[in-house]
Amino acid sequence: MSAASTPPTLVVVAHGSPDPRARQSVLALLRLLRALRPGLRVELGHLETDEPLLTDTLARLRGDAVLVPLLFSRGFHVKHDIPSVLAGAGHLNAVTAGCLGPHPLLAEALHSRLTEAGYRRGQAVVLAAAGSLDPESAAGTEYTAGMLSARLGGVPVLPAYASAAGPTVPEAVAELRARGHREPAVASCFTAPGLFATRCAEAAPGVASAPLGSHPALARLLLHRYDQARGTRAEPFPRALAATA
């Protein structure tokens, strides 16, 4: 393949976690990306804690790259941390894709993980996310909650947060119980196992879904954001999904 026809490197930008399971989960997602898009170079960079750090990944790349945040909303990391690192990589012709949410594929992955965990039709849900002080981040999570509610037939889905914002997951569970929903489920809007995901799951009175990890819908969403950032024709979705993408 000639240099002119070589697609930009896809750099998955993960947050990083002291929990060793998190890195393994992200690496499994990268393996799926490579399987779904043979010939595409896929690299990993962390914002903190884990190696390789994003600064180191970008330093060894050359040519074109698309950074795809493995983050679900437009908070501080997307608006400040990633642009700051990218500003120091002037040797690259690089752009940053949009964050993963909200999007129908994210709702699909959340729905699937709930079903795997034993979700029962009609249960109300708490959508557990990391949390941010940025109001745009909260707005995105609320929109994702609405999309998940629609997939579940219109049951209440309340967004809740592990840090920085409210309500907390226990507060959202209490609110749903006060409305008459005795055993709300918790949908984990986290990429990988870690402190936040564990705390949120422990607050569930019943069903708590696993982190999204290497779910196929999440991998397809990463590739979709990559294609959007390139300005190329993204992978087609069913008409119902494309209408809200």
pLDDT tens digits, 80-102: 899 999 999 999 999 999 999 99
Fold of 3-101+214-242: Rossmann fold (3.40.50)
Contact 219, 32 (CB under 8 A): yes
Q: What 3-state DSSP class applies to 128? A: strand
Residues 6+ apart with CB under 8 A from 56: 45
CA angle 50, 47, 97 (to 5 degrees): 130
pTM of the model: 0.91
Among 90, 208, 214, 189, which Cα is nearest to 138's?
Answer: 189
Q: Provide the pLDDT for residue 147.
A: 98
Which residues fall within 8 angstroms of residue 239, CB to CB, at 6 or more apart? Answer: none
At residue 46, φ and ψ (nearest 5 deg) are: -100, 150
Domain map (residue ranges) of the chain? 3-101+214-242, 104-202
Mean pLDDT in each 10-residue stretch from start to end of the chain (245 residues)? 75 93 95 98 95 97 97 84 94 96 97 98 96 87 97 98 90 97 96 93 95 97 97 48 35
Check residue 2 and give its pLDDT. Answer: 43
